[in-house]
Structure 1
């Protein structure tokens, strides 16, 4: 199935032509049939000579209903321009063509209607010349009469050739169904219709509403007048929703694959049309079936920043129309360059941003996005429409390779700087380093670690910073000199203080392996453990605490925590009667 939108001036026979091709009435409302003009969107379909099916979105031609026309054309990949032979090219013909050009529509054909009322050649020649100057280029043209049926077989053949040349949609693309109608059916509940441009819908799928993010479930699907369990793009589809009331939905909303779109009210775009500097402060942005007021801030000659009145689910590369409703004027087409642009708070930021945007073409580029953003979550890029094809550096974080190397070098420098500023601390806390490197996640700090850096108890240190500060090293040397021949005698707290070994200095010495801490203010030289095992191994086994204290020539203050340390290390074993035995004595 393929979908084609009609376009053209009011009362040029668009609906009559669709009716003649399909045998269906595209005008849905009694008011439309009474007035003989399309006010809202109409839908009809027919089989083509090849066996395929084409569905028409019949749009209104009156200038007052251009927003409705844009809602119908926005999601559709091809257009059939209709010009009446007896009137020729008209103002709404031009505005509809300008809208198609702004949207970048490049597939279409020309139908010159009322060929039974006037020679179609002049209208055909003028219309083809106007169309050739747009994104549609040279298009096939057919003269027809919806009344007599003349030219209809040729038009069907031309439609067959047109849809055969349309790009095939990606079946695994995320769903973004722009809603062009929302209504209630008794016994079924809320139903929305739209043009499915990519992906597929299945009964039971969970989607989310673009406007609120709330989840909804597909209760049923209809396509070409029949119920379906599954509908693949491109297709006109009606979706019966469970879990949402009719008043929560309206034209311009969208049904989305959860987690695959970035809802934004701030975007940077490239403008093809009026000069950016000449734009009024406020315009209307038409994208999909949505029409949203947008405040305009020119950045470069053809780049602008738009602040939308409400967020929309947009992707990099999306095409849209900027229109001035007061002047009934299409200001131009826009290509979305960035859906998560940086703030422009600093002096000169707008000029710098314009230079960046001048290099962008609206095609998603992973390497380029990483260069500009430096660090970004993979999920955020996916929701912007950027395919992710590289592994994250930590969690779901992606990094520009050059920036990641620079961060690693800065991390080493920051660890060393912290060690100089805080010589008695056991390394730099991870959160301190995260702030100094301006990183959004502590996992990134841990991912940057490489020898000689290492993580220990939430702090980062390096072999180069394990050396003791000079005052602490001198104090440890004096302990070694005083107690070297009495390895199991621990200096009293007063003596430690006299030597300059307070709690922080002791902690630094213990971390550096220069002292062994048994308990608060109970420290020995580091070789005391092995020496104690050798001494205790020479005692009759098992031995008591008193025997151990005497053999080690120490006090209970030292012997109790020392034996407990030996128990924990498995060098000794405590027996039920509180005696101990050496498990494995080191060689003498």
Structure 2
């Protein structure tokens, strides 16, 4: 499961780093200058286990206005903002600017930590500061966020803060995995004996050890040598996780903050993209056409010019459309949030969402058709609408999904085909096709598959001599309907994750292994079968000899074949008797039970059980008191 990320925000010297150190036991200030000045200059990182057991990463950002642009490199990929306001000072200039940045980037959740409460003169003062904070947050993404009073020095309120962080994250959906791995680099360093390491928040897709990656915009190719998350080695990193990637084939000097590590073929750099834009009402200027700005997107900072579309200028507090042209190539994707700042004097202007990452050309600024297209793109393209709908719908047919998404049929079919083709939707009934077959969001399918594997792995640990769990029991445990379950079983079998034998389902990796003592019992029993191949020990005698678990393991492995509740043969003896019957009566003539008994040199009990089993398998068919071979195999 992906580790989610909390980011701090707030005015300088309001206690962000000290609070992080108290929460995690790790001080995020890693630079000597930071420790000497007691001021965060660059991004710091720590990790925390919340009361509900969830592990989260924490990005600590600078609060000083001189380092606001370093702050922007780390705040873009967070799932929750820990918004810090000191009780002795209250709301300050960078408090408001950081809040504006969180609002522009649409950070999905937040918790306010009212710090340094031990420095407040009295409870009445704290009430006034909290009221001012709530008024400041009104109308922003943090409107209504819980406020927790804490002291990092004394530890007061720390337990409550952890509980509040856990509760706020629990109500937030996890990032979708669209299978397009992308990690904006916010830190680069070298480790002796390992080479280049980059860190960042994995925004989409997953990375595995051994994966080939591309570093954009320069297009450098490398390979994932190792992964770490929460300072633990991992074989695979999930979307949303703070991730350190050890790269082979890449020199440290070739990588810098702002570049993007991604899977080859999914992304390409651009120097022009279309975007929706909101200008802060606090902005000191209107945004005019051809204004030079600083663009912040992912962990990248680059100089750009804006083409204002449809109007002469965008006034403070108003929204509009932009074509943004960058001085250097950048990597963006539709739906990314970005931010624009004025270079001089420094000021956060506003930001918005990328609606088209690779426009075909420079558009005419006042074209009605272009403006209409922007409006449609801002609402989401059919593939994204379909994928979002699928995440909530679970396992449904492609046609049902299109209807649930309220998409026109032709657009929906094209989007469905695209998502299935690129693997964002799992098609569980390929024989029926994407429209009639069951489909499921890839992230949900992987979660269901992982749940299946966990259930069966625990079962195998408890019952190592069983081939697997009863088919219906697994269905019940997974909570699936019959068609859904059958489709899932077929898909898992096709992926070689699951094997079904005699109504038992088990992991393909599971192997039945006897202990030396058990193997000795098995050998003794099988010798009895070898001594009397056509009249061997019965089911009860077998169970008495080796126990039910070992007997079931032998039938599960196919060494023994039970042809009735009482009669069981070694599989090789059964096959030999079947071949004798085929040789004798394979020309289509009929034969009686007595004839079969005599030919096999066995007793009536064994002959009756064997022939009735052949009837059930449709290898023989009854014709009065005789039988005829129909389909010997």
Counterpart position of 2:244? 238
Counterpart position of 2:71? 69
Answer yes or no: is the 8 Å Cα contact 1:177–1:254 preserved in 2: yes
Answer yes or no: is the 8 Å Cα contact 1:366–1:387 preserved in 2: no
SS in 2 for 1:237: strand
1:15 to 14, 17, 26: 17
Q: Equivalents in 2 of 1:271, 1:145: separation in Å? A: 39
Matches within 5 A, 1:220-239: 220-239=226-245
Query: Is residue 215 from structure 1 mapped to residue 221 from structure 2 by the alignment?
Result: yes
Counterpart position of 2:156? 150
Answer yes or no: is the 8 Å Cα contact 2:201–2:243 preserved in 1: yes
Answer yes or no: is the 8 Å Cα contact 1:251–1:289 preserved in 2: yes
The alignment's TM-score, normalised by the length of structure 1, stands at 0.61
SS in 1 for 2:162: helix
Answer yes or no: is the 8 Å Cα contact 2:79–2:109 preserved in 1: yes
Q: Equivalents in 2 of 1:109, 1:155: separation in Å? A: 8
Matches within 5 A, 1:331-342: 331-342=349-360
2:94 to 86, 92, 95: 92
Total equivalences in the alignment: 383
Q: Equivalents in 2 of 1:280, 1:232: separation in Å? A: 40
Q: Which runs of 5+ in 2 are unaligned?
A: 312-319, 386-406, 428-633
Counterpart position of 2:133? 127
SS in 2 for 1:27: coil
Q: Which runs of 5+ in 1 are unaligned?
A: 391-588
Query: Is residue 283 from structure 1 mapped to residue 309 from structure 2 by the alignment?
Result: no
CA 256–42 in structure 1, closer or farther in 2 if over 3 Å, else same: same
Answer yes or no: is the 8 Å Cα contact 1:172–1:200 preserved in 2: no
Query: Is residue 319 from structure 1 mapped to residue 337 from structure 2 by the alignment?
Result: yes
CA 279–125 in structure 1, closer or farther in 2 if over 3 Å, else same: farther
1:202 to 202, 208, 211: 208
Quote how far apart the aligned CAs of 1:32 are: 0.2
Matches within 5 A, 1:436-455: none
The structure with more radius of gyration:
1
Give the RMSD, CA atoms, in angstroms.
Answer: 3.0
1:354 to 332, 346, 371: 371
1:263 to 258, 269, 291: 269
Counterpart position of 1:113? 115
Counterpart position of 1:543? none
2:166 to 149, 160, 169: 160
CA 284–270 in structure 1, closer or farther in 2 if over 3 Å, else same: same
Q: Equivalents in 2 of 1:353, 1:389: separation in Å? A: 34
Answer yes or no: is the 8 Å Cα contact 1:114–1:145 preserved in 2: yes
Quote how far apart the aligned CAs of 1:350 are: 4.4
Matches within 5 A, 1:298-313: 298-301=308-311, 302-313=320-331
Quote how far apart the aligned CAs of 1:233 are: 2.8
Counterpart position of 1:5? 7
Counterpart position of 1:468? none
Quote how far apart the aligned CAs of 1:120 are: 2.6
Quote how far apart the aligned CAs of 1:156 are: 0.6
Q: Equivalents in 2 of 1:331, 1:3: separation in Å? A: 26
Answer yes or no: is the 8 Å Cα contact 2:215–2:262 preserved in 1: yes
Quote how far apart the aligned CAs of 1:291 are: 0.9
Q: Equivalents in 1 of 2:255, 2:381: separation in Å? A: 30
Answer yes or no: is the 8 Å Cα contact 1:262–1:339 preserved in 2: no
Q: Equivalents in 2 of 1:18, 1:69: separation in Å? A: 16
SS in 2 for 1:360: helix
Q: Equivalents in 1 of 2:287, 2:59: separation in Å? A: 35
Greater mean alpha carbon deviation, residues 238-247 or residues 159-168 = 159-168
SS in 1 for 2:101: helix
SS in 2 for 1:148: coil
The alignment's TM-score, normalised by the length of structure 2, stands at 0.57
Q: Equivalents in 2 of 1:386, 1:335: separation in Å? A: 25
Answer yes or no: is the 8 Å Cα contact 2:211–2:224 preserved in 1: yes
The C-alpha deviation readout for 1:62-86, integer Å capped at 9, x for no partner, is 0011111010101212211000000
Greater mean alpha carbon deviation, residues 148-157 or residues 120-129 = 120-129
Quote how far apart the aligned CAs of 1:274 are: 4.6
CA 135–280 in structure 1, closer or farther in 2 if over 3 Å, else same: farther
Query: Is residue 294 from structure 1 mapped to residue 304 from structure 2 by the alignment?
Result: yes
Quote how far apart the aligned CAs of 1:367 are: 11
The C-alpha deviation readout for 1:270-289, integer Å capped at 9, x for no partner, is 11125975466111111111
Q: Equivalents in 2 of 1:80, 1:40: separation in Å? A: 17
